[in-house]
Amino acid sequence: MLRILLTHKFRFFIVLLFVLSFVLIRVYEDNLFYDPFLNYFKSDFNDLPLPIYNSFRLFLSLLFRYGLNMVLSLGLIFILFKDIGMVKFASFLYVVFFALLVFSFYATISIYGEHNNMMLFYVRRFLIQPIFILLFIPAFYYQKLSR
């Protein structure tokens, strides 16, 4: 195991940089992104009305954050697997998932308002956190093993 790490120390270092970048996005999320739902979901949101927000500005912020996570995730997939086909497929999935999630996010706000906060919480969580990379890496690894 140690010998493998030493032979791939540059790749290991790059992977650590990508993971550190994910952490830095999370640490500085208050400063980097417009998201009135950050403080809302940190509080006891089940009894609170939805915060006042600018829909367009929130959309751009979600797009920016999702885009940052997507670019880092695609870079991580490329570093780990060295397969541009996987990167293309993952980027297609990221774009499709973004469209579905943004539609679901705004539909949940419009239809349910503050009456279904947990659904809003989880849809938003998929938009702002790099959860898909946790699904893609094992899936691509299994696919590579089965070839």
**Taking the CA of residue 93 as centre, how many other CA atoms within 13 Å lie in the half-sphere pointing to its CB?**
15
Instruction: Read off the DSSP letter of residue 47.
Output: G
Distance CA 141, CA 139 (A): 5
DSSP string across 57-89: HHHHHHHHHHHHHHHHHHHHHHHHH--HHHHHH
Show the domain range for 86.
2-146
Distance CA 58, CA 105 (A): 11
Q: Which residue has the higher pLDDT, 36 or 42?
A: 36
Domain count, the chain: 1
Confidence bin at 6 (pLDDT 50/70/90)? low
Q: What is the pTM of this model?
A: 0.89
